[in-house]
Amino acid sequence: MRPSTLHLRGEYHQHLGSRLVLSFSKKDIIMSNENSRTIDSYESRFGEYVAATVQTVQGPMKKWLDASVEGLPLDAQILELGSGFGRDAKYLQFKGYMLECSDATKNFIALLEAQGFNTRQLNAINDPIEGDYDAIIANAVLLHFTDSETQTVLKKVYEALNTSGRFAFTVIKGEGEEWTDSKMGLPRYFNYWSEQELRQLLELTGYHKVHVDTVGKPGGKEWLMLTAYK
């Protein structure tokens, strides 16, 4: 079922569960306070983040990354958003792929460059995502975006994929949004999603096929691991 529609102040809107899908032009897009503060926290405590994060790709994460490049040739054009300290990029490089890394955090860019990755500083909200990519990957990135920022990035990624491209990304399953200083000791913004909300939003964006795995413990933190095909 497609979301219902609502007109407010002469603008076109759509309901997505409890969320409101807004239509706006690219010139109106600015980075929110939520995202800028979260990036500042990563800049200040990137070392703490690295130390507190699992260092190897394993289990459901490995399965999802493998699926994100399944069937792609080794010379595929792949962009990773939010590469962090390079864990996922290193795994994909081990599989034979030479992807392009990116991050909005300068300290992570320095870590990636020190490891020899092809890297550029990129804020997925404000900066253009230009290319003709076979795949774009974003692990635990969109969970820091507001609803409107998520909609913006999904559209920008869609436009940067080639005609058979795919977008693989992960978010935390849940409702609402919150600030937390867990793991790093500084505040980070988190926005939670249901599978149905994401499926509907991806459909509205133009993706025609979506695969979703839910991993984690019911009652605890559960992750939605998605691959959306153009």
Which CATH number belongs to the domain containing residue 190 in this structure?
Answer: 3.40.50.150
Indicate whether 4 belongs to any domain.
no
What pLDDT band is residue 179 in, cutting at 50, 70 and 90? very high
pLDDT for residue 19: 57
pLDDT per residue as tens digits for the range 102-139: 999 999 999 999 999 999 999 999 999 999 999 999 99
- CA–CA gap between residue 225 and residue 88 (Å, rounded): 14
- Over the stretch 2-50, which tens digit does the pLDDT of each residue have? 233 222 223 334 555 555 454 433 333 445 788 999 999 999 999 999 9
For residues 51-69, give the mean pLDDT: 95
Within a domain: 24 = no
Band (pLDDT 50/70/90 cuts) for residue 220 is: confident
User: Could you tell me if residue 58 is inside a domain?
Assistant: yes
Is residue 14 in some structural domain?
no
How far apart, in whole angstroms, are the C-alpha atoms of residue 83 and residue 102? 6
Q: Is residue 15 part of a domain?
A: no
Element (H, E) at 166: strand 161-172
Q: Percent of the chain beyond pLDDT 70?
A: 85
Boundaries of domain holding 34: 30-229
Chain length of the chain: 230
In the chain, % of residues over pLDDT 90: 81
| Token digits of residue 165 | 């491209």
Whose tokens are 């979703």? That residue is 212
Please report whether residue 12 resides in a domain.
no
Domain assignment of residue 2, yes or no: no
Would you say residue 85 has pLDDT above 80?
yes
Give the full edge-to-edge strand order of the sheet including 78-80: 119-121, 100-103, 78-80, 133-138, 161-172, 222-229, 209-216
Residue 190 within any structural domain of the chain: yes
Q: What's the rounded Cα separation, in Å, for the pair 195 and 19? A: 13
Residue 23's CB: how many other CB atoms inside 10 A?
A: 9
Total tally of structural domains belonging to the chain: 1
